[in-house]
Structure 1
Amino acid sequence: MDNRHEAVRGVAGCMVVAAGGTAGMLAWAPYGGRGIFDGFEGESEWDVLWLGLPVMTLGGIAAGIALFALVRGKWRHALGAGVFLTALVGFGVAFDVLAGPPLNCGPGPAC
């Protein structure tokens, strides 16, 4: 019975982490499409893909790990995932990984 219980917890943990990674990718999608396809003066913003997608995906995975650890009562694991998530947020802010193309502030009420 104990092996079955461990297997169920392992599968549940994998599902939570996969859902977190998927949520991170879905949260990135509006920024990624705008940055890649609607770049400034027709140029693509590839940093949105190369930096933004991994940061958002890893952030979703870290959030899933933290949530699963909290549910299981593993406070140290949850704290470690929270520290990693905080570092990812700091990296994202420092490198502005979700910055879309600059606004076209020409004459008129566009801005």
Structure 2
Amino acid sequence: MENRREAIRGVAGCVVAAAGGAAGMLAWAPYGRRGLFGGFEGAMEWDVLRLGLPVMTLGGIAAGIALFALVQGKWRQALGAAVLLTALAGFGVAFDVLEGPPPMCGPGC
């Protein structure tokens, strides 16, 4: 009976992590679409894909794991995932991967 509970918890944890990764990708999508297809003078900005997508995806996974650990009452695991999430956010800010898409230039540019 205990093995079955652990298996269900494991599957639920994987589902939560996958949902967090998908949420991170969905949060990245508007910025990625604009950066890849509408960069400065039509040029593609590859940093949006190389840095932005992994940071947002891993951030979503870390947030899902932290939330799942909090629900289960595992504070150390939640703290570890929160530290990872903070490190990813710091990396994103340092390399401007979490900064919003550049503003669209109006007709007077």
TM-score (norm 2): 0.92
Give, in whole Å, the separation in 2 of the partners of 1:67 and 1:2: 23
Deviations 1:40-72 (A, max 9, x none): 011111100100000000000000110010011
Aligned to 1:36: 36
2:105 aligned counterpart, secondary structure:
coil
How large is the Cα RMSD of the aligned pairs?
Answer: 1.5
Aligned residue pairs: how many?
108
Give, in whole Å, the separation in 2 of the partners of 1:89 and 1:106: 34
Percent identity of equivalent pairs: 77
Superposed displacement of residue 103, structure 1: 4.4
> Structure 1 regions of 5+ residues with no counterpart?
none
- Mark the structure with the bigger radius of gyration: 1
**Structure 1 counterpart of 2:31, one-letter code:** Y
**Structure 2 counterpart of 1:104, one-letter code:** C
Change beyond 3 A, Cα 1:30–1:49? same
Aligned positions of 1:27-66 closer than 5 A: 27-66=27-66
Give, in whole Å, the separation in 1 of the partners of 2:90 and 2:23: 19
**Structure 1 counterpart of 2:105, one-letter code:** N
Give, in whole Å, the separation in 1 of the partners of 2:36 and 2:98: 11
| Stretch moving more, 6-15 or 90-99 | 90-99
Aligned to 1:83: 83
Give, in whole Å, the separation in 2 of the partners of 1:57 and 1:104: 29
Give the conservation status (yes or no) of the 8 Å contact 1:39–1:45: yes
Aligned to 2:93: 93
* Residue 10 (str. 1) matches residue 10 (str. 2): yes
Superposed displacement of residue 101, structure 1: 3.9
TM-score (norm 1): 0.91
Give, in whole Å, the separation in 2 of the partners of 1:48 and 1:73: 36
Aligned to 1:20: 20
1:54 aligned counterpart, secondary structure:
helix
Give, in whole Å, the separation in 1 of the partners of 2:36 and 2:97: 12
